[in-house]
Amino acid sequence: MHGGSAPQVRAAALARLIAASDIVAGELIKIAKNPKMPAAARVSAANSVLDRAGLKPSERLELAGVDGAPIQNEVIVRLVKADGR
């Protein structure tokens, strides 16, 4: 391998990113706390810090079958039809 895909190049890039992570996080915190920054920038910085700290809100996924029926009913109906019953 050569170039950017070589393991030693990837390892060196990762080491640089890890080394800079405290500095970058500090800058994001400064932006989030600075009342002179636009609100959108402050919210974005705060969300970035929280996301990287693993404090994301939980994601909700709702599944429904045909006409809003529970998905398990649809699966059962399809299995029965496939079986010929």
Interval 53-77: pLDDT, tens: 888 777 777 777 777 776 665 455 5
Record the tokens describing residue 66, joined without a space: 């045909």
Picking from 54, 57, 55, 75, the residue whose alpha carbon sits closest to that of residue 65 is 75
Tell me if residue 20 falls in helix, strand or coil. Answer: helix
Helices (H) and strands (E) in the chain, counts: 3, 0
Residues in the chain: 85
As a whole number, mean pLDDT of residues 17-43 equals 95
State the CB neighbour count (10 A cutoff) for residue 83: 7
Q: Kindly report the average pLDDT of the chain as a whole number.
A: 82
- Residue-range domain boundaries for the chain: 3-83
φ, ψ of residue 69 to 5 degrees: the values are -65, 155
The model's pTM = 0.55
- Output DSSP code: residue 4: G
